[in-house]
Structure 1
Amino acid sequence: MRRSPHASTLRATDRALPLVTALALALAGCTADEPAAPPDRPADVAGTVDRDDRGPRLVDASDPYYEGMALLSASTVVLDADGGRVDGDALDDGDVVEAWADVCAESFPVQCQVLAVRRSPRMASCVRSKPPSEAGCVATVQRAENHGSISRRGR
């Protein structure tokens, strides 16, 4: 019985094809799970960042359900006020943020899969207006001053 000179090439191809297919599927799965940043819907909650030994959490929440919620989970996307991605360490005490949550476990504080956190662009406009022009800005600026994240000299 005589072997074809292409027999070893066919065997190598037969082995390589499933490996390449599995690798392509694995890589496609990695990018498909990445969440949109932020999701294309209004934020679930807004509030102020309070850092403790466990990391940043939400205080002064616009919805009391989210009061005390941890802001960072394994896949949380953190954005600055302009929408650029930043590290979770960029969230400072007193930052005003918006958060998008997914599945939440009923507990106190609530434990949610936080999809995205964005520093509120409204905070920047509140700090720039002297004196703050709307009631929400007054409360926002006062909370930030209390946390020490801004200083409003000459007010």
Structure 2
Amino acid sequence: MGRTRAWAEHTAWGAVAMLAGLDADWLGATQTSRLRQSLRELTEVDELLTRTRDRAQVHTFEAHRAALPQLRQVVALSNTRTLGLTDAVDASRDGYLAASDLDNVSRDLSLRADPAGPVTLRVTGFDFEQVRALVDTSVVAALDAATSTDPRVRGVGHRVLAESLEAYR
């Protein structure tokens, strides 16, 4: 068996939309049909995670606590409450940011790249208005949760994604 290829960014966001029961009107008819078929054939959450990994590039940063409220204003935060999880109350932030804004935000808020940093920015070049609409869905929250370092959160993400795939079939 060969390696599973990730979908292109716009296709990955299309899969998110479809699993969330929304239209992916940025995809053509043929691409939509192929993606529907692929989603129906997916049975493993890990394969879905691999396929959708290029929806955004993950960057981690260290940030001063004074920057955290400002970050909340500029990033689209996953809605973990849709998974039955509470929002983080510590100094961590995890959200989506338009690729065109990364340099300005990191400079203006004095973010410092740090692989173990508490700030995770999922940077995407896809139409950010579409991203904002999709980030509020349980599918995006589950995709993000399924890659968490916290085993409990990761388990919740896997369970929700498995349920989403099953419901889509």
Q: Same fold (TM over 0.5)?
A: no
Q: Which has the larger radius of gyration?
A: 1
TM-score (norm 1): 0.30
TM-score (norm 2): 0.28
Q: Which has the higher contact order (CA 8 A, sep 6+)?
A: 2
